[in-house]
Structure 1
Amino acid sequence: MTAVIICALLAMCIAFAIAAIVGARRSAALESLATEHGFSYIGDDSRYAKRFSGRPFRTWGGKVHDLVSGQYRGRDFAVFDYHYTTSSGSGDNSTKHHHHFTVWAIELACSVPRLEVGSEGIFGGKVAEFFGAERIRSGDATFDNRFKVSADDAKFAHAVLSPDLVAHMNANVGQLTWRFDGDVMISFEKGRFTADSGMVNRLDVMCDILDTIGDETWPSRRHSR
Structure 2
Amino acid sequence: MDGAVGIVIMLVGVVVVIALITSASAREKKTKALTGWAERNGWRYQVERPELVGHFEGTPFTGRGNAEHALTGSHRGRKVLQYEYSYTTSSYNGQTTTTQRHVYTITAVETPAPTPVLEVKGRHFGHAILDLLGIHDFRLDDEAFDGTFRVATGDDDFARAVLTEDVRSWLVGHSGGRNPFRFTGDHVICWESIPMGQEPDLQPADFLADLLDRVPGEAWDRSRRA
Instruction: Report TM bin, short chain.
Output: 0.7 to 0.9
**Deviation, structure 1 residue 171:** 2.4
Is the CA contact 2:53–2:67 (under 8 Å) kept in the aligned structure 1?
A: yes
Aligned: 1:209 with 2:214: no
Residues 105 and 158 of structure 1: CA distance in aligned 2, closer, same or farther (over 3 Å): same
Report the counterpart of residue 195 of structure 1 in structure 2.
198
Larger displacement relative to structure 2 (25-34 or 110-119):
25-34
Is the CA contact 1:45–1:65 (under 8 Å) kept in the aligned structure 2?
A: yes
CA distance in 1, matches of 2:172, 2:94: 50
CA distance in 1, matches of 2:152, 2:83: 25
Q: 1:43-54 alignment to 2 at 5 Å?
A: 43-54=47-58
Report the counterpart of residue 68 of structure 1 in structure 2.
71
Report the counterpart of residue 131 of structure 1 in structure 2.
none
How high is the TM-score relative to the length of structure 2?
0.85
CA distance in 2, matches of 1:65, 1:135: 32
- Amino acid corresponding to residue 154 of structure 2 in structure 1: D
CA distance in 1, matches of 2:165, 2:146: 12
RMSD of aligned Cα (Å)? 2.6
Identity of aligned residues (%): 29
CA distance in 2, matches of 1:167, 1:34: 35
Aligned: 1:77 with 2:92: no
CA distance in 1, matches of 2:38, 2:174: 26
Is the CA contact 1:215–1:221 (under 8 Å) kept in the aligned structure 2?
A: no
Is the CA contact 1:110–1:220 (under 8 Å) kept in the aligned structure 2?
A: no
Deviations 1:49-103 (A, max 9, x none): 12111111112x3110111111222222210110101111178722221110110
Segments of 5+ residues of structure 2 without an aligned counterpart are: 130-135
Segments of 5+ residues of structure 1 without an aligned counterpart are: 129-133
- Amino acid corresponding to residue 115 of structure 2 in structure 1: V
Find the residue that maps to 2:176 and give its secondary structure: coil
How high is the TM-score relative to the length of structure 1?
0.85
**Deviation, structure 1 residue 27:** 2.6
- Amino acid corresponding to residue 115 of structure 1 in structure 2: L
Is the CA contact 1:69–1:76 (under 8 Å) kept in the aligned structure 2?
A: yes
Aligned: 1:27 with 2:31: yes
